[in-house]
Amino acid sequence: MTRRTVLAIPAAAALSQGNAQSILDLAPPPAGQKIQYGPGEFQFGELRVPPGHDPGPAAIVIHGGYWRAAYDLKHIGHLCEALTRAGIATWSLEYRRLGNPGGGWPGTFDDVKAGASHLTKLAKSKAIDLNRVIAMGHSAGGQLALWLCKQNAIALRGVVALAPVADLRRAWALKLSGNVVDELLGGSPAKVPERYRAASPIEMVPLGVRQRVIHGAADDVVPVSISSGYFAAARAKGDDATLTEPVGAGHFDLIDPRSAAWSSVRDAARGLLD
């Protein structure tokens, strides 16, 4: 499937978009079960599994924050709880970020790969169906979720990328978040081109995995043009990709289960897991 959709939000619902960033101000929900996937302080995940004994679908969730230590997995906890209530187990990954020892290239990437792979071990004792696993990431986490598709860490049914920083060369050129990509990869595209080729999803297509990209049309943190450019590249390479642009939705609406945009996120996950 290759489709680009501009998703209109009804006028009444659009009024709720004014609280776009308030999800960051809410107290986080109770933490999931904390499980180490590695020995380091930040090499852990939080597992939430719906009630019941039969193995069910799961989402590997990767939080955003422009890869910086200032942002951890707590702010994406409401998304994880909502997915779990919808019947999807969530394995929310923490990982070394810029400002943590070993964060950046390659530590951040190594952690995400190891954390995703660890789900195969968890499934031996948890009610998780390894034939029904997706990755989901927001912002920088969206970049990491797309990147994960080609790492052979775990078999994925698809990926839901929410406002992903899917083109690292473009992000570097735009100097997003104080040119954080330069810090993440240790230099410019001219200085370390091999790292951009290895880390930037737009340079990795085709991914060979179904991709559901969702990017709020009113996003002022990550330009929606990054997702439209990525979508066009993925489609040109033959990937099964869609792009949905909820009108009026900002950057944080996509991880806010109270927002009008949330149904498109939930339905994308369900659609990949059915």
Domain definitions of the chain by residue range: 2-273
pLDDT category at 16 given cuts 50, 70, 90 is: very low
Task: State how beta strands 33-36 and 44-48 pair.
Answer: antiparallel
pLDDT category at 6 given cuts 50, 70, 90 is: low
Q: What is the mean pLDDT of residues 185-195?
A: 98
pLDDT of residue 22: 81
Both tokens of 177, joined, read: 């978040």
Name the superfamily (CATH) of residues 2-273: Alpha/Beta hydrolase fold, catalytic domain (3.40.50.1820)
pLDDT category at 137 given cuts 50, 70, 90 is: very high
Q: What is the mean pLDDT of residues 44-71?
A: 97
> Over the range 171-210, which residues count as b (16 or more CB within 10 Å of their CB) and which as e?
bbeeebbeebbbbbbebebeebeebbebbbbbebbbbebb
Question: Model's pTM, two decimal places?
Answer: 0.94
pLDDT category at 10 given cuts 50, 70, 90 is: very low
